[in-house]
Structure 1
């Protein structure tokens, strides 16, 4: 019997990607505002497109997760601006 750790690893990639994504959005909005969104778009598209090309399933899945996390980060940047306006986060 062999164990398949693919699901566990992809789950951890998702957890780490989401956690780091929150930190990047909060710090990025604080220092650069929402002007950072084009970088998120470029990184998100590059990672997502790369996930189609890579042959390794684990790397492909990880790139897809990171890519979608950055694309979702664009929405979160805009939401973060609103959170700052409400006083939930510090304003620079």
Structure 2
């Protein structure tokens, strides 16, 4: 960490980690909606609240920043899961055949 601070790389490293965190959440949204539907939104609420509390508790700026990014990415995922459901209904993403009733697809299929 001393190397990062000596060369003022903290902001750059936070940016790279933010990019990676957001990049990980994209497929998580797709997989969670596919397997669990919108029922899993509360897990991301708990992760978000936990991340906010942890970010407030941690004193080091780098780790506190990453916890904050993780927390708000988790909270944003709640919205994205519901939007992912709409994208599935539009046919942009595959529908889980075990949950066709949730999408109203059983009526369309008849």
TM-score normalised by structure 1 residue count: 0.96
TM-score normalised by structure 2 residue count: 0.81
Shift of 1:48: 1.2
Greater relative contact order (Cα < 8 A, sep 6+): 1
Indicate the residue corresponding to 1:58 in structure 2: 62
Aligned alpha-carbon RMSD (Å): 0.7
TM alignment of 1:1-92, pairs within 5 A = 2-92=6-96
- Where structure 1 has 5 or more consecutive residues not aligned to the other structure, the ranges are none
Indicate the residue corresponding to 2:99 in structure 1: none
Q: Distance in 1 between matches of 2:87 and 2:17?
A: 27
Q: How many residues align?
A: 91
Structure with larger Rg? 2
Question: Which of structure 1's runs of 4+ aligned residues deviate more than 6 A?
Answer: none
